[in-house]
Amino acid sequence: MESLRERKKQRTREALLRTALELFTTEGYERTTVDDIAEAVDVSQRTFFRYFAGKEEAALALMEVTVAHFLQSVRERPPHEAPMEALRQAVLEGWDTLNDVIEAIAPVELYLRMCRVVESTPALLAAHLRRSAEVEETLAAVLAEREGVDLDTDPRPRLAVAVFGGVMRLTERQWSVGEDFSLDAMRALTVSYLEQVGPALSESWRTH
Amino acid sequence: MESLRERKKQRTREALLRTALELFTTEGYERTTVDDIAEAVDVSQRTFFRYFAGKEEAALALMEVTVAHFLQSVRERPPHEAPMEALRQAVLEGWDTLNDVIEAIAPVELYLRMCRVVESTPALLAAHLRRSAEVEETLAAVLAEREGVDLDTDPRPRLAVAVFGGVMRLTERQWSVGEDFSLDAMRALTVSYLEQVGPALSESWRTH
DNA sequence: TGTCAATTGTCAGTGGCTGTCACTAGCCTC
DNA sequence: GAGGCTAGTGACAGCCACTGACAATTGACA
């Protein structure tokens, strides 16, 4: 059983996050000041920074949840799957179960809108890409362990993850600029792109 | 022939850039304030911001030159080369001729040191990755044109570039954390990684 | 030389973020 | 249930990146 203190803290954090996301998606990230958020929640600006390391962290909080969810999916993949297949299955399975995970925090619709904001806000996109790079490193370690190879001497884990990450980021981006913001559309794009990686690297694209 | 004004402006910009890079590499990016740079060059802080959109822009100025150099190399590749081969040749050729391009602005050694700073400074790394994403978009357009395919309907250009970009960023990173900071080492890594992409994506890595 | 325009300095202000310190409110013990 | 302890908070001061506005300076050019 949680203490009153814990619950209060939790409520403050949720209020801050929800308000922040709401403002970011309606007013825009840059046009929303931390003071705006704090004022709307009726706490001091200082308190905001006690819950979030910065404005960015609040904006990317939902992405962080999906990342954790995806990483978990990868770790749970049966060890007999080949590396790329495990990653592929993990994302696909991830999209299936993501709905519930997100909904526990905020409406999925808010998540989708926030994705677009991230993609269209330079500062947020930069932070997101940096975070993605960190995730790739983690992922490489997971693959290395799965396959029993040494991360320091064998470049294949990092290579596979770099390729995979590149394709996934392209997927994210294309999805966010498209018109269908459903998770289904995301899954369709994922499958389509992953299937086309091989052909795209082939000798020539010209259909002479 | 350039006017006195032009030359003065050029000199101011060079002084600001050189001083900034020097301070970034010796004192660290975050510990160097814009005021420090401006004071060292003996101009007002405001003037710094008239030459650079921000602290980051100064820090990434050399990277920007190499990016432009690389893009140029790609555009000059003979049209009969397959997409990935053109990219590959462009980087390799790029490393060969990069020395002269950089040296015209700052000592190559400063460039190398700055690369490490970028890789180890979160804010700079984020900005660098964002810029890389932009470059990939440009590159995709170049490839689409070369191959005569439509960027909007054919995902292959962006896919190829995403994969290539992923591998190149991995190369950059591994090079910057390694101990051999020569351009030769960079080229060797490039070749090695590009060669291993195929195998890394293969079914299994286990040498059962 | 005097006028025009580009470049710069100065100043004031905004916004993200941090350190400090006093205060309040939940918690725990006696 | 009174008192002490401590986590959480607000208030304030301050740093730094960055911007707008305006005045001062300096090269360009008639």
Which nucleotide has its C1' atom closest to residue A53's CA?
C17
Look at residue A204 and tell me whether its pLDDT is greater than 80: no
Does one domain contain both A74 and A177?
Answer: yes
* Contact by Cβ (8 Å): A102, A66: yes
Which nucleotide has its C1' atom closest to residue A36's CA?
C15
Cβ contacts of B148 on chain A, cutoff 8 Å: 206
**pLDDT for res A43:** 98
| Inter-chain CB pairs, A–B, below 8 Å | 113
> Phi, psi (5° rounding) for residue B29?
-65, -50
The answer to whether residue A208 sits within a structural domain is no
The answer to whether residue B143 sits within a structural domain is yes
Does one domain contain both B42 and B141?
Answer: no
Does one domain contain both A78 and A44?
Answer: no
**CATH classification at residue A22:** 1.10.10.60
Mean pLDDT, range A96-108, rounded to an integer: 93
* Contact by Cβ (8 Å): A138, B137: no
Mean pLDDT, range A19-40, rounded to an integer: 98
Cα separation, A73 vs B177, in Å, equals 30
Q: Give chain A's domain count.
A: 2
The answer to whether residue A192 sits within a structural domain is yes
The answer to whether residue A207 sits within a structural domain is no
**CATH classification at residue A110:** 1.10.357.10
* Contact by Cβ (8 Å): B172, B183: no
Does one domain contain both B175 and B144?
Answer: yes
Domain boundary pick from A57, A82, A101: A57
- B126·A126 Cβ contact <8 A: yes
Domain boundary pick from B57, B77, B98: B57
Residue in A129, A154, A163 nearest the CB of B197:
A163
Does one domain contain both A95 and A191?
Answer: yes
Does one domain contain both B113 and B165?
Answer: yes
**pLDDT for res B14:** 97
Does one domain contain both B73 and B39?
Answer: no
Cα separation, B190 vs A165, in Å, equals 18
**pLDDT for res B170:** 96
Query: What is the residue-level pLDDT of chain B in tens, covering all 208 positions?
Result: 678 689 999 999 999 999 999 999 999 999 999 999 999 999 999 999 999 999 999 999 999 999 999 999 999 999 999 999 999 999 999 988 999 999 999 999 999 999 999 999 999 999 999 999 999 999 999 999 999 999 999 999 999 999 999 999 999 999 888 888 888 888 999 999 999 998 888 767 877 5
Segment A185-201, tens digit of pLDDT = 889 999 999 999 988 88
> How far does the CA of residue A183 sit from the closest CA of chain B (Å)?
20
The answer to whether residue B14 sits within a structural domain is yes
The answer to whether residue B206 sits within a structural domain is no
The answer to whether residue B125 sits within a structural domain is yes
> How far does the CA of residue A11 sit from the closest CA of chain B (Å)?
30
**pLDDT for res A48:** 98
Does one domain contain both A52 and A123?
Answer: no
Cβ contacts of B122 on chain A, cutoff 8 Å: 130
DSSP A192-205: HHHHHHHHHTSS--
| Structural domain span for residue A161 | 60-200
Q: Which nucleotides of D are covered by protein (CB under 7 A)?
A: 7-13, 15-21, 27-29
How is residue A194 written in tokens? 């992953």
